[in-house]
Amino acid sequence: MGIEIKTVGIIGAGQMGSGIAHVCAASGLDVRLNDRDPERIDAALGLIDANLTRQVQKGTFSDEQRRGALARIGVAPTFDDLGACDLVIEAATEDEATKRKIFQTLCPSLKPDALVATNTSSISITRLAAATDRPDRFIGIHFMNPVPVMQLVELIRGIATEDPTYESAKAFIARLGKTSTMSEDFPAFIVNRILLPMINEAIYTLYEGVGSVESIDTAMRLGANHPMGPLQLADFIGLDTCLSVMQVLYEGLADSKYRPCPLLVKYVEAGWLGRKTKRGFYDYRGETPIPTR
């Protein structure tokens, strides 16, 4: 038997962390939001309020529900403030060393039966679990972006993850009204194992001069019926995250077909990371996005 999850701690108040906090609070769970930068927490709370207000305007949420959800989100300035949580989800930057350091520092603050999860989109769950004092209670819970909109959540078991942990995580996702799928602990799991090489190939297509940014995105939107083009999607995900996932695939599977495109590397080195920096494969500094190549 797994444990019932009533209070969720979230480490990282960025795009993913704020989205996870949103859906947890909207589903009646108490949330404790942690970030090393207090300004990011303030920004996350403002974003959550704006997104909930949009749901009220659409008629999918009442204003009373919006106020209740916001009231359930508390600020946790330190890891000690996460001590009463039943589940703590790490949603920090996609860097293994950073995540391992977080888990090593976090675990002494948690109650013995608390579950720990990572929202990593590609890194080995087994390796991350080894940085904790509870690999049996550790699991990958990979939400899709944007969290309030996307229906799927990948659950990834490490080699030491026990059945009650998986069952608790599965029940938690169902409580959020989302659908879970189970992936084995292979580099990038299911969604990104398929999606990111496609994006990388689109970048190679641009790099080799086969098509422009606009022609590549138009071709995939209208020719494959994708809701957005692969380069537009890369900007939305963040080019640094795309590069990180491709590096995990390339190093983890030792196959040249996963080699990150040199153009992707160049954009990241330039600090052109997509929407979050206002420039990537598109320039977002004006009223409408303009292709940069």
Tell me which residue has tokens 């939001």: 33
Q: Is 18 a catalytic residue?
A: no
Choose the catalytic residue: 124, 192, 200, 244: 192
Classified as helix, coil or strand, 247 is: helix
What residue type is 288 in one-letter code?
T
Choose the catalytic residue: 119, 121, 168, 200: 121
Q: Is 142 a catalytic residue?
A: yes
- What are the tokens at 163? 């059945």
What residue type is 22 in one-letter code?
H
What is 95-130 written as a DSSP string?
-HHHHHHHHHHHGGGS-TT-EEEE--SSS-HHHHHT
Q: Is 225 a catalytic residue?
A: no
* 234 closest CA partner among 270, 269, 192: 192
**Main-chain dihedrals φ then ψ at residue 146, nearest 5 degrees:** -80, 135
Choose the catalytic residue: 94, 122, 142, 200: 142
* Buried/exposed code over 14-53 (b: 16+ C-beta within 10 A; e: otherwise): bbbbbbbbbbbbbbebbbbbbbeeeebbeebbebbbebbe
Q: Which helix or strand (DSSP H or E) is residue 140 part of?
A: strand 138-143
Q: Which helix or strand (DSSP H or E) is residue 24 part of?
A: helix 15-26
Choose the catalytic residue: 122, 124, 154, 168: 154
Q: Is 192 a catalytic residue?
A: yes
Contact present, 32 and 81 (Cβ < 8 Å)? yes
- What are the tokens at 205? 């297509």
Going by C-beta distance under 8 Å and a sequence separation of 6 or more, which residues neighbour residue 170? 155, 180
Q: What letter would DSSP give residue 274?
A: B
* 157 closest CA partner among 122, 133, 192, 125: 125
- β-bridge mates for residue 73, sequence order: 31
Task: Please identify every residue annotated as catalytic.
Answer: 121, 142, 154, 192
